[in-house]
């Protein structure tokens, strides 16, 4: 296939490298000819590096570079061009102008694709004489390494075009997911579940950014915590995406932005690229503060209360803790309450527990060796230090647990992050914006989650996740925690969240 790529910036040159290596002839062009020269040099250096690392042969590298054709005029006639991929700046008028000129220069049979990440494909196509020839083809940076592409048909896109684009993507070694033309498409939309809830936790002073990130990594198994991720992406970019998706979905509660971000963006606290975001960067940046050492009495007796207590009771006993077995705690014993979607304060009130020495423990299974202890305004600091020491201890010869101390909140940190990730993905599935399998594929490939959000919900159990979200909703009254119909129905029917279900059309 002969492909013309318009725009020789980071995305354009990445797409050019990807297509040329896959065997396609690629015309690379830009309104600035020096950008094309720089892009070709860059692709050459990337191919040379791949040869040095043994990822491709010198012959294949040379052949790929030969297939990369610099083009001086983006609007030059191209009777053999079968596909155009536009990768210019994110501006509707600019993209419409580019496609208008291409429509005059190229055959009617040439398929048009836009790499937009935030604009409506339908609105871009509307400026064309034939809007049916255009679809979205959204790559992620760096293109050769991010092996996922969103295929986005606009409202007028001809039905035959998305399958052609999907076949092209997959023949070149990437995975393709078909996504509705909605704000954020799929990956950016699904990613809001993590960062919006992390910001909500910070708003409520449940933990600081470093503390939330530790829990996200060590309990949920994420590669990066949400605040590290925002610093890497750029808070200016993240905040703009959050706002645009929230506005595009008519102020959907579960996508609600935080009041914390506008002032930070205005102050230039964008993350790595500015040297300061949620964390400091650069050679002169102070080292991250270590977690405080464990100083309490690990031998103090503990009483585990509540319906969720059996598993924790067994774990602590195996780790050598002194666990009481009576029906009420002894005088002076620490009281640990595993809470699922509710608060320690509610457990103190409903079970008549001693407030000063009662603490919450997150029962969510940890992906690493970290436990989470929740304290209330009534907590005695000395008792809290002892509770942290008890949770940190482990059996002889094994590494002690790290213990995060957080403010009491419904569901604690990890539960709320997980509930939000699953909820946003279920909302995408409920609206039929993408198929369940494509949602999980896109998120694991595009965001690096350890498992897709719907499959993650199935690991926990749909009924269990529904219980969590109902408890969060009832405890907080916040509509952001309202369970989706997708989750509720599947929990009630005993179906996995990854199952699409029966369409009415199939029963006609």
DSSP 415-428: HHHHHHHHHHHHHH
Q: Do residues 434 and 424 touch, judged by C-beta distance below 8 A?
A: no
Across residues 459-484, what is the average pLDDT? 97
Euclidean distance between CA atoms 338 and 216, whole angstroms: 18
DSSP-derived letter for residue 275 is T
Q: For residue 116, is pLDDT > 90?
A: yes
Question: What is the average pLDDT score of the chain?
Answer: 95
Per-residue confidence at 118, pLDDT binned at 50, 70, 90? confident
- Kindly report, residue by residue over 333-361, the tens digit of the pLDDT: 999 999 999 999 999 999 999 999 999 99
- Cβ density class 346-369: b for 16+ within 10 Å, e for less: bbbeeeebbeebbbbbbbbebeee
Across residues 255-266, what is the average pLDDT? 96
pLDDT (0 to 100) of residue 504: 81
| 80 in catalytic set | no
Strands (E), 195-241: none
**Active-site position among 27, 82, 103, 150:** 150
- Kindly report, residue by residue over 190-244, the tens digit of the pLDDT: 999 999 999 999 999 999 999 999 999 999 999 999 999 999 999 999 999 999 9
Euclidean distance between CA atoms 141 and 225, whole angstroms: 20
Per-residue confidence at 394, pLDDT binned at 50, 70, 90? confident
Nearest residue to 389 (alpha-carbon basis) of 459, 442, 313, 334: 334
pLDDT (0 to 100) of residue 506: 78
Per-residue confidence at 317, pLDDT binned at 50, 70, 90? very high
| 138 in catalytic set | yes
**Active-site position among 24, 138, 189, 473:** 138
Euclidean distance between CA atoms 3 and 81, whole angstroms: 6
Instruction: Name the CA dihedral angle for 167, 171, 177, 183, rounded to a multiple of 10 degrees.
Output: -90
Across residues 56-70, what is the average pLDDT? 96
Q: Do residues 405 and 373 touch, judged by C-beta distance below 8 A?
A: yes
- Residue 32 phi/psi, 5° resolution? -105, 110
Q: For residue 147, is pLDDT > 80?
A: yes
CB atoms under 10 Å from CB of 477, counted, come to 8
- The tokens describing 391, both together, are 């949770």
| 150 in catalytic set | yes
Residues 6+ apart with CB under 8 A from 175: 147, 148, 149, 169, 441, 445
Euclidean distance between CA atoms 70 and 360, whole angstroms: 63
Nearest residue to 411 (alpha-carbon basis) of 421, 426, 400, 402: 421
Strands (E), 106-183: 111-114, 134-138, 148-153, 175-178
Q: For residue 399, is pLDDT > 90?
A: no
DSSP-derived letter for residue 219 is T
Euclidean distance between CA atoms 121 and 245, whole angstroms: 15
DSSP-derived letter for residue 326 is S
Euclidean distance between CA atoms 197 and 417, whole angstroms: 6
| 108 in catalytic set | no
Q: How many residues does the chain have?
A: 508
Q: For residue 389, is pLDDT > 90?
A: yes
The secondary structure of the chain in percent helix, strand, coil, rounded to multiples of 5, reads 45, 15, 40
Residues 6+ apart with CB under 8 A from 189: 182, 183, 245, 424, 428, 433
pLDDT (0 to 100) of residue 205: 97
Rounded to a whole number of angstroms, the distance between the first and last alpha carbons of the chain is: 41
pTM for this model (two decimals): 0.94
H-helix or E-strand containing 456?
helix 453-460
Residues 6+ apart with CB under 8 A from 361: 312, 336, 337, 338, 339, 371, 372, 373, 374, 391
pLDDT (0 to 100) of residue 153: 98
Task: Give 439: exposed, middle or buried? Use CB within 10 Å, 0-12, 13-18, 19+.
Answer: buried
pLDDT (0 to 100) of residue 505: 79
pLDDT (0 to 100) of residue 502: 81
Pairing of strands 370-375, 402-407: parallel
Q: For residue 49, is pLDDT > 90?
A: yes
């Amino acid at each position: 296939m002969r492909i013309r790529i318009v725009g020789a910036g980071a995305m354009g040159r990445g797409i050019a490298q990807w297509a040329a290596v896959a065997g396609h002839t690629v015309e690379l062009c830009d309104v600035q000819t020096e950008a094309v020269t720089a892009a070709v040099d860059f692709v050459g250096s990337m191919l040379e590096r791949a040869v040095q690392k043994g990822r491709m042969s010198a012959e294949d590298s040379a052949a790929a570079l030969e297939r990369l054709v610099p083009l001086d005029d983006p609007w030059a006639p191209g009777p053999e061009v079968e596909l155009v991929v536009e990768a210019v700046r994110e501006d509707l008028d600019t993209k419409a102008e580019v496609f208008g000129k291409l429509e005059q220069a190229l055959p009617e049979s040439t398929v048009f694709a836009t790499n937009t990440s935030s604009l409506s494909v339908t609105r871009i196509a509307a400026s064309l004489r034939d809007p049916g020839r255009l679809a979205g083809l959204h790559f992620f940076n760096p293109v050769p390494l991010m092996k996922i592409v969103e295929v986005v048909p606009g409202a007028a896109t001809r039905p035959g075009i998305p399958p052609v684009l999907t076949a092209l993507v997959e023949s070149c070694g990437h995975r393709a997911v078909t996504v509705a033309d909605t704000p954020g498409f799929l990956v950016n939309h699904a990613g809001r579940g993590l960062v919006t809830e992390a910001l909500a936790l910070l708003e409520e002073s449940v933990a600081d950014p470093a503390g939330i990130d530790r829990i996200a990594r060590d309990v949920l198994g994420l590669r990066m915590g949400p605040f590290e991720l925002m610093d890497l992406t750029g808070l200016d970019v993240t905040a703009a995406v959050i706002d645009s998706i929230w506005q595009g979905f008519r102020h959907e509660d579960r996508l609600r932005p935080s009041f914390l971000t506008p002032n930070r963006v205005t102050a230039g606290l964008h993350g790595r690229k500015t040297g300061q975001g949620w964390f400091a960067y650069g050679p002169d940046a102070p080292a991250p503060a270590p977690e405080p050492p464990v100083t309490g009495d690990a031998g103090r007796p503990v009483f585990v209360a509540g319906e969720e207590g059996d598993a924790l009771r067994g774990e602590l006993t195996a780790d050598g803790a002194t666990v009481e077995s009576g029906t009420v705690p002894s005088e002076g014993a620490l009281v640990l309450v595993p809470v699922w979607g509710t608060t320690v304060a509610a457990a103190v009130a409903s079970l008549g527990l001693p407030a000063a020495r009662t603490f919450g423990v997150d029962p969510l299974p940890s992906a690493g060796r970290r436990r989470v202890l929740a304290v209330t305004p009534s907590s005695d600091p000395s008792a809290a230090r002892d509770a942290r020491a008890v949770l940190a201890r482990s059996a002889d010869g094994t590494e002690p647990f790290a213990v995060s101390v957080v403010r009491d909140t419904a569901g604690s940190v990890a539960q709320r992050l997980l509930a939000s990730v699953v909820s946003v993905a279920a909302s995408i599935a409920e609206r039929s914006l993408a198929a369940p399998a494509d949602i999980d594929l896109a998120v694991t490939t595009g965001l690096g989650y350890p498992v897709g959000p719907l499959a993650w919900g199935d690991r926990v159990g749909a009924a269990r996740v529904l219980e969590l979200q109902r408890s969060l909703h009832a405890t907080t009254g916040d509509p952001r925690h309202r369970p989706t119909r997708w989750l509720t129905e599947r929990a009630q029917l005993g179906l996995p969240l990854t199952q699409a279900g029966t369409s009415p059309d199939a029963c006609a």
